[in-house]
Amino acid sequence: MSYMIWLIISVVSALVAAFIAELRNRRMWLWALLTFLFSPLVILILLALPKVRPRKPCPDCKEMILAEANICRYCGYRFPQPQRAGSGGANTAAG
């Protein structure tokens, strides 16, 4: 009987872990599985870990760099700046 309660607690905490992992850009199935197999305390480990920042591959050297980066830290590739719309003034590019 008591193992049924433990099973319910494990499933619920696994769902909570999956939800938190999703919010923090981590693999939700992995954290759900860890929480289910080991302990709801795994959620505390998940909360203690720093938030994963989204990354993107550099089109030039294919290294993974921060998604918000404008310059690749490995090869110095410059990403095109997003155009500012409606700030007035027509820039006529010469050269």
* Adjacent-strand bridge partners of 56: 65
Does 66 bind Zn ion (CB under 5 A)? Our answer is no
Contact between 74 and Zn ion per CB under 5 A: yes
Find the binder of Zn ion among 7, 9, 47, 61 (CB under 5 A): 61
Q: Does 60 bind Zn ion (CB under 5 A)?
A: yes
Q: Which is nearer to Zn ion, 25 or 70 (CB)?
A: 70
Site for Zn ion, rule CB under 5 A: 58, 60-61, 72, 74-75, 77
